[in-house]
Amino acid sequence: MGGANHLAQFILLETMVLETFSIREYHPDDFDAVTILWRIAREKAMPEFQRAKGYFFFQDRDYFQNHLLNDNRVWVVEQNGRAVAFMAMRNDFIDHLYVDPECQRQGVGKMLLDLAREKSPDHVWLYTLQINANARAFYEKNGFTAEKFGVSPAPESEPDVEYHWRNT
Ligand SMILES: CC(C)(COP(=O)(O)OP(=O)(O)OC[C@H]1O[C@@H](n2cnc3c(N)ncnc32)[C@H](O)[C@@H]1OP(=O)(O)O)[C@@H](O)C(=O)NCCC(=O)NCCS
């Protein structure tokens, strides 16, 4: 009986440890995992928009390598050694924040926003598309306010929202 209890406790503990998410800096070995999760998260969030844009995966990878990594500092969330989310940030601006759909609504996005606020304690801002209702709910839940409605730069040219969080 005691042995069974210990086994159950061990399994519970092991599950808790295995499910832990941790944040670290991006490493070049993350490239495949992160570009794949970026693609999957976008397709899940806005399937029609992604289809209409028709970007190829090699274009995602090129953009990630030659723009996103050049312009930003990037952090990765991992679980069991697998990259499940990333955030790209420069100064007080979040350029990209994506969570693998399998790991969404488990607090991973908030972990990354908390890191952003740690790095930039007074102010953080970002853009998201107006049609991205889930992302907008996420930012608003985390204290961000929509301050400006506009259009993203060409070639995307989609209605967007500028969100700000201020440490008031
Ligand atoms: C938006 C996103 C970053 C949120 O990350 P996350 O890890 O799921 O968020 P958290 O678990 O920290 O917070 C969950 C909260 O966000 C909002 N939210 C996230 N996903 C949602 C969904 N599918 N439907 C409704 N609300 C959602 C809700 O307020 C939710 O709170 P609740 O679960 O108590 O209702 C993630 O869903 C994602 O990567 N989406 C696709 C990519 C994207 O849109 N990125 C932002 C581009 S600017």
**How far does the centroid of ligand 1 lie from the alpha carbon of residue 75, in Å?**
18
Report the residue among 46, 134, 141, 163 best suited for mutation to probe ligand 1: largest number of ligand atoms under 8 A from its CB.
134
Does the beta carbon of 53 sit less than 6 angstroms from any atom of ligand 1?
A: no
Quick check: is 16 in a domain? no
Respond yes or no on whether the N-terminal peptide bond of residue 155 is cis (omega within 30° of 0).
yes
Quick check: is 52 in a domain? yes
Pick the atom of ligand 1 nearest to 113's CA. Answer: 12
Indicate whether this model's pTM tops 0.85.
Answer: yes
Does the beta carbon of 79 sit less than 6 angstroms from any atom of ligand 1?
A: no
One-letter amino acid for residue 27 of the chain: H
Q: Hunting for tokens 């990259």 — which residue is that?
A: 83
DSSP 148: E
The tens digit of pLDDT for each residue in 36-87 reads 999 999 999 999 988 988 889 999 999 999 999 999 999 999 999 999 999 9
Inter-CA distances, 127 with 82, 146, 147, Å: 27, 9, 10
Number of domains in the chain: 1
Question: What is the CATH classification number for the domain harbouring 107?
Answer: 3.40.630.30
**How far does the centroid of ligand 1 lie from the alpha carbon of residue 100, in Å?**
10
Does the beta carbon of 141 sit less than 6 angstroms from any atom of ligand 1?
A: yes
Long-range Cβ contacts of 133-137 (<8 Å, 24+ apart): 134/45, 135/45, 136/161, 136/163
Instruction: Tell me the DSSP string of 10-70.
Output: HHHHHHHHHT-EEEEE--GGGHHHHHHHHHHHHHHH-HHHHHHHT--HHHHHHHIIIIIHH
The tens digit of pLDDT for each residue in 125-146 reads 999 999 999 999 999 999 999 9
- Token pair listed for 83: 């990259």
Quick check: is 99 in a domain? yes
DSSP 157: -
Evaluate if residue 115 carries a pLDDT over 80: yes
Q: Which residues span the domain enclosing 155?
A: 21-166
Quick check: is 7 in a domain? no
